[in-house]
A and B are shown apart, each in its own frame.
Chain A
């Protein structure tokens, strides 16, 4: 079962959600690892053409998560990587109810199948720092032990709490399986395309009046690295995955050369609710809560156990800015130039006055 190499590396790995950006990249990366024999990508939909090249070494199976049980037993699957989570309602996939179906029901079905798979040794579940909720009484930095003070208002946050609850139950029932839960900060990077990267790509960025939340991001490549290590090595437990350091929202917007437009908070929540009810726009209360409260996590456990530190939030964000340079309204160079011009004109006036006297 175990091929040569690290004893922790599993033989057959199933990756769910390969029809999505993250799933496709993780599956491709695992397939390129010689320590892993087979990588099977599972998704109810056929992966889009943009991932075709990426997935040529991955065996793809078009399958709903409720019929996964037979597959896990038949193929002697040793590890399951669960990435099939929707972070925002997609009108094409049934909106919020479709999202909940996929996140919560999908995870329940997957865990039920895993529980009955005799050879399963490892389960890696993607979670999110949204698991900490958002409240004004929150501590500034969340450790893995911090309990959410309030149930999140946003759908994704509530799904994450449900999913983590099911994983806790799974851990009790199958203590022999190494279960890793990775709470990712929002992804960012030159290639990532998420709700948040689209938010920062707009020339004019709405913010909440009187709030300047502290944000953390994780670079997409670092997220891949952590997922890869979770499969190839043994790291039971729950981990925060985020770039160390903090950017405040206003700072991030200025670094990106965008213009912030403060909006009164109740108006923004209302707008998000209306947009959701009308079925357009992927911004929801999850995003509103993030830009009101912010979210900073402690990553010391990840660094200690994985021996890996993601690049810092500021560096990851810089990488994103370089790739999305086009929409900048006010760039760093322009500001430096303006500064030079003012200094230069002062100098000229000064010397002109001096010449006259």
Chain B
């Protein structure tokens, strides 16, 4: 597992393929879904949208020069008469046009990918809308403490990990981008295993993830990104249902030294709800060894119901970002094990206490 690789510390377990298993280049089949992303290049957030939910839908964002500006309002002046009647049609036309423009940009390769492989256009147009359905409508997620995530500049978001597959990481990133006033992207750090698997590795990269190692973490933080990390790694997602909401060991705290070296504030985040989506009753270790997986889960529905067992149970989710822990004054102590351990402990305690508070606020795991 992850402990054996010396330098590797910041671990996030496998990111499961989002519901659409469309391979490395998912193309939206429904043009209505293809909402043009506002494509913020990187950290410095552009003029924040007034409210997160009212994304300016029309007017596709970065249309290349050759783009045939769509817009098919009645061209003939004689039909312009019943202008009130054809309004819904206009909206459809715009959607179709922006969908086509999106398809053309994708098919001709006219989009930008950063050095980690992050594709903001694809993430905004395909992955986030799918995750939005999941976190808003299926899990009824409530997010608090968003003001603790920096509006500009770097931040290291450290969370508890749960849920057999690492769905919580994806939910966290979609919720942060949707609800944060600066629409920050969460750059997740994932375990080796994620990047060993075909398809999954590319989905992880395209949505902004990268291998959990200090060079990548420090590079992202140095670029002023918000980085998400789950130091429990597989110990967190692979724990049994009876151990739910008990934080596992944090390892050597590589995430702390990455934050210290770059002077980045650490934002602990507590996520409640992830433990109930796939309650893991047992772990078939021999089968896991055979398949070279960290664990092989048995849940009330998996593997009994086959693919149906992959449907997450609709638990109620609460996400709370805690006040940031500044590290700028500790930049010189990045290699001091005592400072690193103390800080890691402080983060761990904060998350554990916040988890307890959130659980009190949510008496029924499957409540409204």
A residues apposed to B, CB below 8 Å: 136-141, 143, 146, 208-212, 214, 245-248, 250-255, 257, 262, 265, 294, 296, 330, 332-333, 335-336, 338-340, 342-343, 346-347, 350-351, 354-355
A339 touches B68 (CB 8 A): yes
Say whether B97 contacts A332, CB under 8 Å.
no
Q: Cβ of A248 and Cβ of B211 under 8 Å apart? A: no
Per the bound structure, the CA–CA distance linking A333 and B108 in Å amounts to 9
- Considering the chains assembled together, what is the distance between the CA atoms of A168 and B201 in angstroms? 35
A211-B109 in contact (CB<8A)? no
Which residue in A211, A296, A330, A339 is a CB contact (below 8 Å) of B115? A296
Residue pair B23, A210 in contact (C-beta under 8 Å): yes
Q: Tell yes or no: B302 within 8 A of A by CB.
A: no
Q: How far is the CB of A133 from chain B (nearest CB, A)?
A: 14
Interchain CB contact under 8 A, B198 and A211: yes
The reply to whether B198 and A265 contact each other, CB–CB distance below 8 Å, is: yes
User: Once the chains are docked, how many angstroms separate the CA of A29 from the CA of B110?
Assistant: 35
For residue A338, which residues in chain B have a CB less than 8 angstroms away from its CB? 104
Contact present for B117 and A248 (CB under 8 Å) = yes
- Candidate in A140, A211, A336, A342 with the most chain B CB atoms within 10 angstroms: A140
- Known: A141-B115, A214-B113; 15 extra A-B contacts, CB below 8 A, are A210-B198, A211-B24, A212-B117, A214-B115, A245-B115, A247-B113, A248-B119, A251-B111, A296-B115, A342-B100, A343-B68, A343-B72, A343-B97, A350-B89, A351-B75
Known: A248-B113, A332-B66, A339-B100. A140 touches B219 (CB 8 A): yes
Contact B116 A346 (CB under 8 A): no
CB of B216 within 8 Å of the partner chain: yes
Report the Cα distance A330→B24, complex, angstroms. 20
CB of B355 closer than 8 Å to a CB of A? no
Q: In whole angstroms, what is the CA distance A211 to B106 when docked?
A: 17
Taking the complex as formed, is B96 at the interface, i.e. its CB lies under 8 A from any CB of chain A?
yes
The reply to whether A246 and B117 contact each other, CB–CB distance below 8 Å, is yes
**9 A-B contacts (beta carbon < 8 Å):** A209-B198, A211-B201, A247-B109, A248-B117, A265-B198, A336-B67, A339-B68, A339-B101, A343-B72
CA distance A205 to B307 in the complex (A): 34
Tell me which of B23, B75, B89, B215 contacts A139 (CB under 8 A): B215
Q: How far is the CA of A253 from the CA of B107 in the complex (A)?
A: 10
A140 and B24 contact, CB distance less than 8 A? no
Which chain A residue shows the least CB distance to B101?
A339
Contact assessment for B211 and A137 in the assembled complex, using a CB-CB cutoff below 8 Å: yes
Nearest B residue to A292, CB-CB: B198
Complex CA distance for A318 and B97, rounded to whole angstroms = 27
Give the distance to chain B from A353, nearest Cβ to Cβ, in Å.
10
From A210, A296, A336, give the contact of B201 (CB < 8 A): A210
Q: Is the CB of B114 within 8 A of A246?
A: yes
- Cβ-neighbour of A212 out of B24, B75, B86, B89 (below 8 A): B24
Q: Interface of B with A (CB < 8 Å)?
A: 5, 8, 23-25, 66-68, 70, 72, 74-76, 79, 86, 89, 93, 96-97, 100-101, 103-104, 106-111, 113-117, 119, 192, 195-202, 205-206, 210-211, 213, 215-216, 219
Which residues on the A side are within 8 Å of B68 (C-beta)?
336, 339-340, 343
Whether B202 lies near A212 (C-beta < 8 A) is yes
Contact of B107 among A138, A209, A330 (CB under 8 A): A330
A346 CA to B197 CA in the complex, in Å? 42
Asked whether A335 lies within 8 Å of B72 as measured between CB atoms, the reply is: no
B115 and A140 within 8 A (CB): yes
Residue of B nearest to A216 (CB): B115
- Interchain CB contact under 8 A, B5 and A137: yes
Kindly name the residue among B23, B79, B107, B108 whose own CB sees the greatest number of chain A CB atoms within 10 A: B108
Hey, which chain B residues are within 8 Å of A143, CB to CB? Answer: 215
| Closest Cβ–Cβ distance, residue A62 to chain B (whole Å) | 44
Cβ–Cβ < 8 Å partners of B114 in chain A: 246
Known A250-B24, A339-B104: A140·B211 in contact at CB below 8 Å: yes
Contact, CB under 8 Å: A146 / B215: yes
Distance of A147 Cα from B198 Cα, bound (Å): 24
Cα A247 to Cα B76 in complex, Å, equals 43
A335-B216 contact in complex given A137-B8, A340-B68, A347-B72, C-beta closer than 8 Å:
no
Residues of B near A339 (CB, < 8 A) are 68, 100-101, 103-104
Partner of A335, one of B74, B89, B108, B201: B108
Which residues of chain B have C-beta atoms less than 8 A from A351's C-beta? 74-76, 79
A255 touches B108 (CB 8 A): yes
> What residues of A have a CB within 8 angstroms of the CB of B72 in the complex?
343, 346-347, 350
For residue B120, give the distance in angstroms from its CB to the closest CB of chain A.
Answer: 13
Alpha-carbon gap, A108 to B223, bound state (A): 41
Nearest chain-A residue to B105 (Cβ)? A335
Q: What residues of chain A lie closer than 8 Å to B216, measured between beta carbons?
A: 139-141
Q: In whole Å, how far is B85's beta carbon from the nearest beta carbon of chain A?
A: 9
B41 to chain A, nearest CB (A): 12
Report Cα–Cα, A343/B60, bound state, in Å: 15
Say how far B107's CB is from chain A's closest CB, in angstroms.
Answer: 6
Q: CA separation between A141 and B117, bound complex, in Å?
A: 10
* CB pair A346 B24 closer than 8 Å: no
Which of chain A's residues have a CB closer than 8 A to the CB of B110? 255, 332
B293 to A: closest C-beta gap in Å: 16
Q: How far is the CB of B27 from chain A (nearest CB, A)?
A: 11
The residue in chain B whose Cβ has the minimal distance to the Cβ of A210 is B198
Residue of A with least CB distance to B82: A354
Compute how far the CA of A245 lies from the CA of B41 in the bound complex, rounded to whole angstroms. Answer: 13
The reply to whether B199 and A210 form a contact with Cβ atoms under 8 Å apart is yes
Q: Are A255 and B107 in contact (CB under 8 A)?
A: no
Chain A residues near B106 (CB-CB < 8 A): 254
Given contacts A210-B202, A212-B24, contact A347 B75 (CB under 8 A): yes
Q: Take A211-B201, A351-B79 as given contacts and tell me if A140 and B111 are in contact as well, using a CB distance cutoff of 8 Å.
A: no
Give chain B nearest CB distance to A84 CB in angstroms: 32
